[in-house]
Amino acid sequence: MGAGLRAARVTLRHSPREGPLTPHRRRPYGPSRTTGKFPNSSRGAPGSTEPSPARRPEEEDPHVTHVIKTTARAPLAGTPSLLRAINDRAALELLLENGPLSRTQIGTLTGLSKPTASQLLARLEAAGLVLPVGTSAGGPGPNAQLYQVNPAAGHVAGLDVTTGEIRVAVADITGTTLAEHVVPVKGTPAAETVSRVTAAVAGAVREAGIADRALHTVVIGVGGAPDPVTGKLRYASHLPGWHSPRLVEELSEAIGAPVSIENDVNLAAVAEQACGAARGSEDFVLLWAGAGTGAAIVIAGRLHRGFTGGAGEVGYMPVPGSPVVRDVRRRNSGGFQDLVGAPAVRALARRYGLGAPTAEDAIARALETPGAGDAFLAELAGRLAVGLAVIVAVVDPELVVLSGAVPSAGGTRLRALVEDELARLSMARPEVRSSALVGSPVLLGALQRAVATAREAVFSTH
């Protein structure tokens, strides 16, 4: 998954049919990152015990999902240009992580000789990827020239789109946010979706002080799931104008940069894994409860999107305590969201005499009201735990992150109640944490994904 997500691992297996060890790559289930399409199946007809005619002997191993063809005795050596590219990328990552460094420091950290480090920096400076930024002082000998990543090597934008507003942030290649811009969109006709998004991005670009149409990548977070096959946005009837299969193409043409659309809760998980409550975790679930309800599932460091892109659309999940709705597609209601969504939280608060204009206000009032407030928080925690117990039973994560307006308003007290109740309902007992992010997690995740995409392209010197 973009920023902070681990690449597919490579393992070695010995097959007596093939002789020497042959590397096999485990390819995660889901669409290709490059084509957006699912790999063709090599299996025979359902229920058949016979392999398909095209199946090769090594594919009979059910544990092998993809075979990398190699020559048994071929040397695993890189070309000089490939090795230079690897060294260049390593140096750029060190500069991003540590800030300005001298030639000697880069050589020490990479293990490169001084002449090689000098050639590397000259190459990166000529490509516009690094800049000299003064000299070091205080050490023995002459002051050393310092270098940093050139912030102007690339600019990106991230968007958080809701029914009420479009929030845009622009960042440079180092990940530094240059500007944020908010445009209200409530009541905007569907036909104006592309123009309104384009205007919002243009406003953020102006505030960032960069040239028009100078963005390298744009990532948009929305409350829906792009279908990896058709490109159509699913689970998003609340966003008129966002359902055209050509929407991404139209936005890319209007903005002047490649555009990708991602589920908003998935982007919140990207941000939590990169710099929030899930940092260092590779198997976790993020539950979002607010105006909408959803989950993001990260397995082995990668987002799991599902066959249609709808993994984590748990708002429609049937759970105890909520009426079963037989036609959720038509009614766009029912299930878990009718227990923990913002309207349900306000209704629950009124039952306890804690009426308030918003779910956040109701929870804040409960935190300050002994008796009725305690009972309200306990029931709300029970509702959240019931849905989480279902998810945990299937995914078995090491961690659950609570995010969105409802859990955030409840803070550490609601988090502790949810964790205790979940431990009573579930055989697996993952740790439960509150979101550790300030601001919009969706916007932060969109920027994380956009910056990672831009770096992959801009920092490629091979």
Strands 165-172 and 177-184: antiparallel
Per DSSP, which regions of 173-258 are E strands? 177-184, 217-222, 225-226, 233-234
| 452 & 422 share domain | no
Instruction: pLDDT band for 328, please (50, 70, 90 cuts).
Output: low
Residue 329 has pLDDT above 80, yes or no: no
Q: Examine the domain organization and report whether 312 and 377 are in the same domain.
A: yes
271 lies in some domain: no
* Range with the poorest average pLDDT among 63-77, 177-191, 225-239, 391-405: 63-77
Task: Specify whether 173 is located in the same domain as 257.
Answer: yes
pLDDT band at 41; cut points 50, 70, 90? very low
Res 69: pLDDT? 36
Residues 100 and 170 in one domain: no
**What pLDDT, on a 0 to 100 scale, did the predictor assign at position 230?**
85
432-452 pLDDT, tens per residue?
999 999 999 999 999 999 999
Residue 48 has pLDDT above 80, yes or no: no
Higher-confidence residue: 143 or 89? 89
Q: Is 209 helix (H, G, I), strand (E, B) or coil?
A: coil
In a domain, 217, yes or no: yes
Q: Could you give the CA distance from residue 65 to residue 324 in angstroms, rounded to a whole number?
A: 38
Domain end position, chosen among 112, 134, 149 = 149
Of 77, 100, 128, which closes a domain?
77
Does residue 275 form part of some domain? no
Q: Any residues with CB less than 8 A from the CB of 39 and at least 6 apart, and which?
A: 27, 32
Do 420 and 290 share a structural domain?
yes
pLDDT at position 325, please?
A: 74
The predicted-structure confidence for 317-327, as pLDDT tens digits, reads as follows 999 988 777 77
Q: Across the chain, which distance is largest between two alpha carbons, in Å?
A: 78
Spatial CA neighbour of 366 closest among 338, 406, 336, 337? 406
How many domains does one find in the chain? Answer: 4
Decide if 274 is inside a domain.
no
**In whole numbers, what is the pLDDT of the chain averaged over residues?**
84
Mean pLDDT of 76-88: 80
Residue 293 sits in which domain range?
Answer: 280-436
Which range in 1-5, 131-135, 342-346 is most confidently predicted, on average pLDDT? 342-346
pLDDT at 258 over 60: yes
Residue 57 pLDDT grade (very low, low, confident, very high; cuts 50, 70, 90): very low
Q: Looking at residues 367-387, what average pLDDT do you find? A: 98
H or E segment and range at residue 406:
helix 405-425
What pLDDT shows up at residue 364?
98
Q: pLDDT-derived band of residue 70, with 50, 70 and 90 as boundaries? A: very low
Query: Could you give the percent of the chain with pLDDT greater than 90?
Result: 68
Which of 41-45, 91-95, 240-244 shows the lowest mean pLDDT across its residues?
Answer: 41-45
Contact present, 394 and 297 (Cβ < 8 Å): no
Query: Token digits for 75?
Result: 């040397």
Q: What CATH number is attached to the domain comprising 187?
A: 3.30.420.40
Among residues 46, 77, 108, the one where a domain terminates is 77
214, part of any domain: yes
Q: What is the mean pLDDT of residues 355-373?
A: 97
Q: Report, as an integer, the average pLDDT of 21-48.
A: 37
Query: Could you tell me which residue, 69 or 87, shows the higher pLDDT?
Result: 87
Residues 189 and 257 in one domain: yes
Q: What is the mean pLDDT of residues 287-292?
A: 94
- What percent of the chain stands above pLDDT 70? 81
Question: Alpha-carbon distance 209 to 24, whole Å?
Answer: 48
Categorize the per-residue pLDDT at 245 as very low, low, confident or very high, splitting at 50, 70 and 90. confident
225 plus 291 within the same structural domain: no
Residues 259 and 323 grouped into a single domain = no
pLDDT grade for 5, boundaries at 50, 70 and 90: very low
